[in-house]
Structure 1
């Protein structure tokens, strides 16, 4: 990892506190600041991961609502029509399929979380993709 020199201005009492902490830990002020920043960034990443997680109650409700239609669909067109009757559509996303609301286009979850991966649909229906009603 390459390093850069960065100058920061701190209130006098905070500068003294970080200096004392560095001396106490037999380190440097730079190392203390680096450790604090790394911990902060790691905590932010954890918060982001938690916010990206889909509520299991939503997944359960969608499974109950859509499972039969997803299991019984005979083609991409049939699947699109069945999901559309419930107000949903699918979109290809990062090598999988995601489920969206027709009204806002908001992503709800990946279809694999409902028990139906893109690979499953490709095996059943052959090459193709779901129709995105927002594309016209």
Structure 2
């Protein structure tokens, strides 16, 4: 008999982040320049095309993207020049969570790599945290 795993979450929010970067410089300060979420409905095992979140972010420490960064991420300088800074994007993300009623469901964040978690983990999301602390 094969055991069937049932995910305890209704949705998985797959986090993908692009950052500023410089080739072969591991001390280069990383700043988020793209913040994306794709949602997987665990009950239907499908990607929810109706609730994607994708925002570009204007870097503050190094506002000019390196040639390597533009090539590696595919993000143009003009894209980040017209983007909002991270605090605004973070607030938009909190509003997106509420708009799509994630506070009413059990969900988990899933990162594509450790770097994404390291970048976002220290960021407080106060306007949504209280509403979801018992649901997450």
Q: TM-score range by the shorter chain?
A: 0.3 to 0.5
Report which of the two structures shows the higher radius of gyration computed on alpha carbons: 1
Could you state the TM-score of these two structures normalised by the residue count of structure 1?
0.33
Greater relative CO (CA pairs within 8 A, separation 6+): 2
Return the structure number with greater helix share: 1
Q: Which has the higher strand share?
A: 2
